[in-house]
A and B are shown apart, each in its own frame.
Chain A
């Protein structure tokens, strides 16, 4: 079969072999866990506990009545030690609940819903929200909102995104190999909401074992397992939808506007757990990799566990890392410290040595056009960069800067090592402000 794909993009070395064959290991929850209150894109939460309170695993620590919000749950049982400002992975201090783990893992009562047919659509949406489910691919957008399109938008395709196109990352890959049943259960839940829609699991060709397990899992159903070409950013929503359906999302619109919903692999398992087993989002799978890590692999980590605990489980590190990256190397965020907690959106922790961490010196653009050939949106990054540096926002607008998905392809290929995406990000903020 022809492998599905999108136009342009890049082929970076994937570095996945460090971790893609190793089964997921558990990280024992430490004594102290830190829960930054804001773990989704949307309204801030109200903290429901105070120091000294006993909490159970699965108990809400914070919630809000605002529509675009999801509750945050404790991932262990124990005592609230502090509610205060603590360092977040992004390098700023944010309101955080600190829980002292009693090691008992005493849970709140999880209410199971084995029979999906007994649930209404509203029930399902509510259960997903109450389960604290957000997009696990990194964005952290509340999933129940994504699954509640306005009634006039007809959803025709549900795509489970198993592309995992970022180099190094293999957490979705391992989940597909180890828990294919949970993914499909999550998909069944979503299909209850959109009975007319067809459903696909889209996987990049560099994960043959995952393609095989998923194919075996969907045997006899109408769910399609699609092999996608290995190319970055195959897993970006716009590119994935184009590859699968041949449709382009018009500028400024959402996937639902072309009848599509894209759900990440681990989000699908979180949906299954939240709805069918009543278990809220308490853990996530984190890829720990990079040259500095002695025993790289994927880890099942309780939300709130400090990075340092996770790194220890991965064999620890000998020297000071040159760079700490949360998320993939193409779109992830560089952090300052390992004394920050894993949150719902922490898909990976990558530690680079000093050598790899060097960005290379910026030199003048030679107009080689590589950034243009790489850009999956077909913008002209060299001009965006020049206009942004000049502060010419008018021209930035004309060059459709707002359509940039910040995938990083342009900076990746630039032989002059120009910081193209960085300048575009600044420009987008300026444009957003001017609106």
Chain B
């Protein structure tokens, strides 16, 4: 009964269900709470920016793979994830071509030129954001005042000082929003950054689904918290200073969704902790001493670049290499 329909392949003959696509799907689901908070605070224009960003990311990836006669992999949804993350890193006021250019940089220059999914050495959306910030600094910092009231009127562009800018200058501390506002959302910033609560919900969903673990987010946020507690600025109490640093800006977005990017973070547990602490340290240094009020993006990119080195140094302890002296357990 020699039969050619019988598949002869190497073991194992069973595989876990999770696929690249199902993982990316989980990431997309985890980003939904932040998307909702973005729409609530910044209006429906958020959806337009999001559509442009996802659409151009997927389209650029498809075009590249099509033109170079590579397998088409847009179905793995990784380009869609990059699209959402890129949109989340933009102010809602940007003109339509900003997400398109950002998508080009993210997908073509950062991802595909380096070999596509898994091979890029910097986070595509993060490079997209930094590229746009450097090229069009004004457009990228026009944060509109978010408030539920915009549902009843027009969205006026107001360049409002973000909490981090206030913290940096140490002036106008009375203008800082309350912790509750920071936590729930409603502070000027990028689309996806406004609600720490929504980001946390999504992040914990990813942890629950075992897409990410807590090593990078915890050590990242923990390092920022500790440093901002120890080194206050102006007249804020250490605790208040810490709360503002932890809850403001893109820290949660960066810690849960950007720094945990598989391709650009270390694979070993110890390496991931180093990554998180490194990100936290650099973020704080930039926020406090650097030329910009916000440092999450640069911190993540710098640690992305350090990742191959960290991977070389941080390897798990292998079975059978260090003698364990313990005797038989009864």
CB-CB under 8 A from A44, the residues of chain B are none
Does A244 lie at the interface of the complex (its beta carbon under 8 Å from any beta carbon of B)? yes
Per the bound structure, the CA–CA distance linking A101 and B9 in Å amounts to 34
Interface residue from B2, B10, B22, B118 paired with A365 (Cβ < 8 Å): B118
For window 257-273 of B, CB contacts with A under 8 Å fall at 262-263, 267-268
**Shortest CB–CB separation between residue A238 and chain B, in angstroms?**
6
- CB-CB contacts of B70-91 with A at 8 A, as 1s and 0s? 0001001010000000000000
Q: A327 — nearest CB in chain B belongs to which residue?
A: B11
Per the bound structure, the CA–CA distance linking A242 and B317 in Å amounts to 15
Q: Is B11 a contact partner of A421 (Cβ separation < 8 A)? A: yes
Per the bound structure, the CA–CA distance linking A368 and B22 in Å amounts to 13
Pick the interface stretch among A66-74, A145-153, A180-188, A356-364.
A356-364
Does A92 lie at the interface of the complex (its beta carbon under 8 Å from any beta carbon of B)? no
Does B23 lie at the interface of the complex (its beta carbon under 8 Å from any beta carbon of A)? yes
Q: Is A378 a contact partner of B317 (Cβ separation < 8 A)? A: yes
Does A214 lie at the interface of the complex (its beta carbon under 8 Å from any beta carbon of B)? no
Per the bound structure, the CA–CA distance linking A421 and B1 in Å amounts to 29
- CB-CB contacts of B233-249 with A at 8 A, as 1s and 0s? 00000000000000000
- CB-CB contacts of A343-356 with B at 8 A, as 1s and 0s? 00000001010101
CB-CB under 8 A from B3, the residues of chain A are 320, 336-337
CB-CB under 8 A from A286, the residues of chain B are none
Q: Is B15 a contact partner of A377 (Cβ separation < 8 A)? A: no
Per the bound structure, the CA–CA distance linking A372 and B316 in Å amounts to 9
Q: Is B321 a contact partner of A251 (Cβ separation < 8 A)? A: yes
For window 321-354 of A, CB contacts with B under 8 Å fall at 321-325, 329-339, 350, 352, 354
Per the bound structure, the CA–CA distance linking A421 and B12 in Å amounts to 8
Interface residue from A323, A360, A372 paired with B6 (Cβ < 8 Å): A323
CB-CB under 8 A from A244, the residues of chain B are 328-329
Q: B322 — nearest CB in chain A belongs to which residue?
A: A248
Interface residue from A245, A372, A421 paired with B267 (Cβ < 8 Å): A372
* A245, A350, A368, A416 interface centre (most CB from chain B within 10 Å): A368
Main secondary structure of the interface of A (DSSP, over half): loop
**Shortest CB–CB separation between residue B287 and chain A, in angstroms?**
29
Q: Is A337 a contact partner of B15 (Cβ separation < 8 A)? A: no
Q: Is B319 a contact partner of A242 (Cβ separation < 8 A)? A: yes
- Are A246 and B328 also in contact (CB < 8 A) when A364-B116, A413-B18, A415-B20 are? yes
CB-CB under 8 A from A403, the residues of chain B are 318-320
- CB-CB contacts of A167-205 with B at 8 A, as 1s and 0s? 100000000000000000000000000000010000000
Interface residue from B1, B20, B320 paired with A366 (Cβ < 8 Å): B20
Interface residue from A250, A251, A367, A377 paired with B262 (Cβ < 8 Å): A367
- Are A337 and B6 also in contact (CB < 8 A) when A332-B13, A413-B18, A415-B20 are? yes
Does A224 lie at the interface of the complex (its beta carbon under 8 Å from any beta carbon of B)? yes
Q: A12 — nearest CB in chain B belongs to which residue?
A: B14
Per the bound structure, the CA–CA distance linking A425 and B9 in Å amounts to 13
Per the bound structure, the CA–CA distance linking A406 and B329 in Å amounts to 27
Per the bound structure, the CA–CA distance linking A380 and B12 in Å amounts to 18
Q: Is B318 a contact partner of A400 (Cβ separation < 8 A)? A: yes
Q: A250 — nearest CB in chain B belongs to which residue?
A: B320
CB-CB under 8 A from A422, the residues of chain B are 10
CB-CB under 8 A from B326, the residues of chain A are 246-247
Does A376 lie at the interface of the complex (its beta carbon under 8 Å from any beta carbon of B)? yes
Does B327 lie at the interface of the complex (its beta carbon under 8 Å from any beta carbon of A)? yes
For window 107-145 of B, CB contacts with A under 8 Å fall at 115-119
Q: Is B2 a contact partner of A412 (Cβ separation < 8 A)? A: no
Does A81 lie at the interface of the complex (its beta carbon under 8 Å from any beta carbon of B)? no
Q: Is B263 a contact partner of A366 (Cβ separation < 8 A)? A: yes
Does B178 lie at the interface of the complex (its beta carbon under 8 Å from any beta carbon of A)? no
Per the bound structure, the CA–CA distance linking A246 and B330 in Å amounts to 10
CB-CB under 8 A from A350, the residues of chain B are 13
Q: Is B13 a contact partner of A334 (Cβ separation < 8 A)? A: yes
Q: Is B11 a contact partner of A333 (Cβ separation < 8 A)? A: yes
Does B154 lie at the interface of the complex (its beta carbon under 8 Å from any beta carbon of A)? no
Per the bound structure, the CA–CA distance linking A358 and B7 in Å amounts to 8
Interface residue from B5, B15, B16, B320 paired with A251 (Cβ < 8 Å): B320
Does B69 lie at the interface of the complex (its beta carbon under 8 Å from any beta carbon of A)? no
CB-CB under 8 A from B262, the residues of chain A are 366-369
CB-CB under 8 A from B76, the residues of chain A are 363
CB-CB under 8 A from B330, the residues of chain A are 224
Does A157 lie at the interface of the complex (its beta carbon under 8 Å from any beta carbon of B)? yes
Does A419 lie at the interface of the complex (its beta carbon under 8 Å from any beta carbon of B)? yes
For window 95-145 of A, CB contacts with B under 8 Å fall at none
Q: Is A321 a contact partner of B6 (Cβ separation < 8 A)? A: yes
Per the bound structure, the CA–CA distance linking A408 and B6 in Å amounts to 21
CB-CB under 8 A from B22, the residues of chain A are 415
Interface residue from A12, A359, A379 paired with B16 (Cβ < 8 Å): A12
- CB-CB nearest 7 A-B residue pairs: A408-B12, A422-B10, A246-B326, A369-B267, A378-B316, A251-B320, A329-B13
Query: Which residue numbers of A lie inside 8 Å of B, CB to CB?
Result: 4, 7, 10, 12, 91, 156-157, 167, 198, 224, 238, 242, 244-253, 308, 320-325, 329-339, 350, 352, 354, 356-360, 363-370, 372, 376-380, 382, 400, 403, 406, 408, 411-417, 419, 421-422, 425
* Known contacts A415-B20, A417-B15, then 7 further A-B pairs from the complex at CB < 8 Å, ordered by chain A residue: A323-B9, A334-B9, A363-B20, A403-B318, A416-B20, A421-B10, A421-B11
Query: Which residue numbers of B lie inside 8 Å of A, CB to CB?
Result: 1-3, 5-16, 18-20, 22-23, 73, 76, 78, 115-119, 262-263, 267-268, 315-324, 326-330
Subset of 7 A-B contacts with CB under 8 Å = A246-B324, A248-B320, A324-B6, A330-B12, A370-B18, A382-B267, A413-B16
